[in-house]
Structure 1
Amino acid sequence: MFEHFCQIETFFQDRKQYGIKPGLERIHKLLHLLDQPQEKVNAIHVAGTNGKGSTIHYLKSALMSSGYRVGVFTSPSIQGLTGHIFVNDSPIPDKTMIHYVNIIHPLIQQLDEEYNHPTEFEIMTAVAFLYFAESTDIALIETGMGGREDTTNCFQPILSIITNVAWDHTDYLGKTIESIAYHKAGIIKANRPVIAGELDKEAVSVIMDEASEKNAPLYLSSESFQYEIAGITTTSHQTFQWKSASGISMEIALQTPGIHQIRNVSLAIMALVILERKGLSLDWKKCVNSLAAVRMPARFEQVHSKPAIILDGAHNPAGVRAFIETLTSYYSDMEKHLIFAAFKDKDLERMLGDLESHFSSVTLTTFPHSRAAGIEQLKKFSHHPHVLFQSDWRQAIEQMSFQRENACYCITGSLHFIAIVRKYFEETFDLK
């Protein structure tokens, strides 16, 4: 029996030895032994290369504003182990995590003895469903990777959302857009609605085929719903008009910067429309107001002004493009400096190639994680005339010094990296 949270942290650290194992056999076996908690949860499944977390943030905020208790399962976490599992705005309490892991642990031992070792992520998924079954009205489940063979693809959603499809995790999902889309499309379930964001024609074809085969009503961005941008004024305010093909129209204001956030919130609004059709009672005035209040950590988050310091988890080429699009929209006339660190299995050449031309100086660093790219690997892909290499991420930040008030300092890359950097800034500034 686990008695202290430090024991839980050690336990999950030990499970990392079993790595990432696509496939659903172990999670189905574990959930079966737990009496199928996932069947007791009303849940939405969200997949996509980028935008999953943001779309979930908007949905959560709107549903909470109408009085619902909303569970969120997300990865990676920027708030430690308990930051994977939320009810409303609160991570799962340490004592509650201990309680559920103690329930699951004898079953994990049973599967270990059968040489069918549950992974860290599979155990966390089981904890989430146990918690949500007892504590929520509705839950929002983010895929870890892909969809079809992702651990989270173990339940029947009330609806599914595919935010976008771009190159990422190609070792697992394949090296074509069609292959990656095939994995994302795996979350589409028979007779359950699916919403899809802005997609390349190759991805649209795959999604449409899967939806047709499953008789799943498909709501495509730009066809079933669309947005018209009314105004982008500052990094803290943008407005747009959301319209559905059925004639619904509403004006939406956001604090979150970037056109990609308009795309994400548009998906969330379409999901709310479908949920209302399914019988969910929504106060639309409160929903719209809640969307305007959403702020998100590590998503083009300005943690300081004069100088501007921005944290962004641009962890793949599509994320880098969205980051650059937002950066150039708001800081085009400013001198800009970059600190970057990422996982070694990402497309580092493309990411750095897209990033470097936008910055006066670039500092490449690394961070404590088994998948983190080292300095020698990053050196291969950098061609910036003013590049520094610093193996200690904390020294990289301190050496930047942030002395130019009219400059913009950006720190981006892996969300795991941004999580530890954000904690550093929390200790330096009063982040909320």
Structure 2
Amino acid sequence: MFEQFFQVKAFFQVRKQYGVKPGLERIYKLLDLLDNPERKMNAVHVAGTNGKGSTVHFLNQALIANGYTVGVFNSPSLKGLTGHILCNDNSITENTFMYYFNKVYPFIRQLDEQQRHPTEFEILTVIAFLYFADHTDIALVEAGMGGREDTTNCFDPILSIITNISWDHTEFLGKNIESIAYHKAGIIKKNRPIIVGEMSDNATSVIYAEAQKKNAPLYRMGDAFQYKITNVKGNHQTFQWGTISGINMEIRLQAAGGHQVQNASLAIMALVLFEKKGFRLNRYDYLKGLITAQLPGRFEQIHSRPAIILDGAHNPAGAQAFKETLEANFKNTENHLIFAVFKDKDLKRMLEILEPHFSTITLTTFDHPRAAEVEQLGEIGIHAELRNDWRHAIRQISFEQKDEDVCYFITGSLHFIAMVRKYAEDMTEWL
């Protein structure tokens, strides 16, 4: 058993050696050995190429505003190991994490001895489910990758949400949109509602087929519910939201970008379905929760004069959404970019999307086995400065420069953004 949290962190660091192993056999075995905590929690399952974290955050804030104790399981974490598991917006404590880890550890050893090594993410998932079963009214579970064979796809949800489908993780999910959609559609469960965001016709047909096969009521954005943006002012947006059944609301957000309106719309549809299922919800309260929702790592401003903005645009679709938000809000400013991302992404396409919008671009890397090295980024051929040390790239920002027309954007992998956020918290100049 583990008595100090540094021992737990060391264990998880070593556990990374088992990498990503799609399939559910190991997670089901662990859950069975622990008396199936996944059957003792009320939970929502959220998958999609982009927008999972934001949709979960909007839903989380709305439910908390209605007095529910809400758990969130997310990956990657912006706050270290304990940040994967949240309760009412707070990471669980190190002691709590260690308590549940010690419950799981004997069974990890048992599977290790059988050469069925559970991965880091599988262990985190089981710890989360044990905690949620004991402490939460509702849990919001974000899929790690794909859906059908993702570790989190091991429980029967209240409802499921697929935010969108575009190119990502093609080495695991397939080389075409239909294959990727097939994996995402795997979170659809028998007789459970599925909410679907905007996506191509090819992806939609795959989702529809799976929903029909599972007799799952399907609520598609643009059909069952719609939105219309009515006002945008900086990071504040107002939009009208309505259903074909006649429910209408006006919603305000503190989040930049039309894609965040889409994510919030998915969360609102989930809230409406919660009401139909008998959950006690006050619309005034959950609309108030949506207004106050601020999204960490999603077009998040962490400094003013000069403006420094973080965004986890970790694939081409994310880069496109980032670019559109940039054009809408920062077209008259001098913009500078610091960029680092995983090597298995479409690096060339991402940088082609971003390059025209920045006066300078710095390409860098970070400590992760999947991180693209600066040499790989440099081979793409755009005009950019290469920096092996991302901290040095950030220290090059001129904090004496108080011009409101100069902005620095730091984007790429959410793992990278998490490191930058932690670094920013420790830099007194940024406070």
Q: Deviations over 1:254-299 (max 9, x none)?
A: 0111101000000000000001000001011010011000111110
Bigger shift: 329-338 or 420-429?
420-429
Describe the shift of the 1:57–1:376 C-alpha distance in structure 2 as closer, same or farther (beyond 3 A).
Answer: same
How far did residue 65 of structure 1 move? 0.9
Alignment of 1:52-131 (within 5 A): 52-131=52-131
- 73-82 or 92-101: bigger deviation: 92-101
Partner of 2:43: 43
Post-superposition offset of 1:78: 0.8
Q: SS at the partner of 1:189?
A: coil
1:427 is displaced (CA, Å) by 2.2
Matching of residues 249-260 of structure 1 within 5 Å: 249-260=248-259
How many residue pairs match? The answer is: 429
List aligned pairs for 1:147-166, cutoff 5 A.
147-166=147-166
Letter in 1 for 2:388: S
Distance across 2 between alignment mates of 1:164 and 1:11: 35
- C-alpha contact 1:352 1:382 (8 A) present in aligned 2: no
Find the counterpart in structure 2 of residue 328 from structure 1. 327
Residue 373 (structure 1) shift: 0.5
Report the equivalent of 2:394: 397
How big is the shift at 1:382?
Answer: 3.4
Equivalent-residue separation in structure 2 for 1:372 and 1:334 (angstroms): 30
Q: Does 1:138 find its partner at 2:135?
A: no
Say if 2:360 is the partner of 1:367. Answer: no
Q: Is the 8 A contact 2:223 2:244 kept in 1?
A: yes
Q: Is the 8 A contact 1:353 1:382 kept in 2?
A: no
Whether the 8 Å contact between 2:41 and 2:133 is mirrored in structure 1 is yes
Q: Secondary structure at the match of 2:185?
A: helix
Q: Which residue of 2 aligns with 1:381?
A: 380
**Deviation for aligned residue 1:430:** 8.9
Q: Deviations over 1:143-193 (max 9, x none)?
A: 000000000000001100000001000000011111100000000001000
Q: What displacement does 1:425 show?
A: 1.5
Amino acid at match of 2:308: I
Query: Partner of 1:319 in structure 2?
Result: 318
Gaps of 5+ in 2: none
Partner Cα distance (2:159, 2:170) in 1 = 26
Q: CA deviation at 1:90?
A: 1.2
C-alpha separation in 1, matches of 2:416 and 2:270: 31
Contact 2:303–2:430 at 8 Å: present in 1 too? no
> Cα deviation per residue 1:85-135 (whole Å; 9 max; x = unaligned)?
011111111111111111111101110011100000000000000000000
Q: In structure 1, the residue corresponding to 2:238 is in which secondary structure?
A: strand
Q: Give the C-alpha shift of residue 221 in structure 1.
A: 0.2
- The whole-number CA distance in structure 1 between the counterparts of 2:195 and 2:213 is 16
User: Which range moved further: 93-102 or 182-191?
Assistant: 93-102
SS at match of 1:299: coil
- Cα distance in structure 2, aligned partners of 1:138 and 1:170: 32
Q: Give 2:409's aligned residue.
A: 410
CA contact (8 A) 1:45 1:160 kept: yes
Shift of 1:404: 6.2
Give the letter for the 1:300 counterpart.
Answer: F
In 2, Cα distance between equivalents of 1:293 and 1:392: 35
Q: 1:292-321 CA deviation, whole Å, 9 max, x = no partner?
A: 001111100111122211110111111101
- Tell me, yes or no, if the aligned pair for 1:338 and 1:361 is still in contact at 8 Å: yes
Aligned partner of residue 396 in structure 2, secondary structure? helix
1:300-311 map, 5 Å: 300-311=299-310
What do you get for the CA RMSD once the two structures are aligned? 1.2
SS in 2 for 1:72: strand
Other structure's SS at 2:354 match: helix
Superposition misfits of 4+ residues, deviation over 6 angstroms: none
**Paired residues of 2:411 and 2:417 also in contact (CA < 8 A):** yes
CA distance in 2, matches of 1:431, 1:283: 39
Q: TM-score, normalised by structure 2?
A: 0.98
How far is the alpha carbon of 1:389 from its aligned partner?
Answer: 0.5
Q: Is the 8 A contact 2:320 2:353 kept in 1?
A: yes
Q: Distance in 1 between matches of 2:334 and 2:327?
A: 11
Map 1:176-325 → 2, pairs under 5 A: 176-235=176-235, 237-325=236-324
> Given the superposition, is the C-alpha separation of residues 429 and 51 from structure 1 closer, same or farther in structure 2, using an over 3 Å criterion?
farther
Moved more, 419-428 or 98-107: 419-428
Distance 2:18 2:205 in 1: 35
- The SS at the match of 1:400 is coil
User: 1:429: Cα distance to partner?
Assistant: 5.6
- Partner letter of residue 339 of structure 1? I
Q: In structure 2, how many angstroms separate the alpha carbons of the residues matched to 1:115 and 1:372?
A: 28
Q: CA deviation at 1:401?
A: 2.3
Amino acid at match of 1:354: I
Q: Counterpart in 1 of 2:26? A: 26
1:327 Cα shift?
0.7
Aligned residues: percent identity? Answer: 62
Partner amino acid for 2:16?
A: K
CA distance in 1, matches of 2:203, 2:356: 30
Separation in 2, partners of 1:362, 1:246: 48
Q: Deviations over 1:409-430 (max 9, x none)?
A: 1010011111111112222369
Partner letter of residue 420 of structure 1?
A: M
Task: Compute the TM-score of the two structures, normalised by the length of structure 1.
Answer: 0.98
The one-letter code sitting in structure 1 at the alignment partner of 2:141 is I
CA displacement 1:362-405 (0-9 Å, x = unmatched):
00011111111101100111322xx1101010111112325362
Kindly provide the CA deviation profile for residues 32-53 of structure 1, in whole angstroms up to 9, marking residues without a partner as x. 0000000000100000000000
Deviation digits for residues 16-37 of structure 1 (CA, Å, limit 9, x no counterpart): 1111000000000000000000
C-alpha displacement of 1:233? 1.2
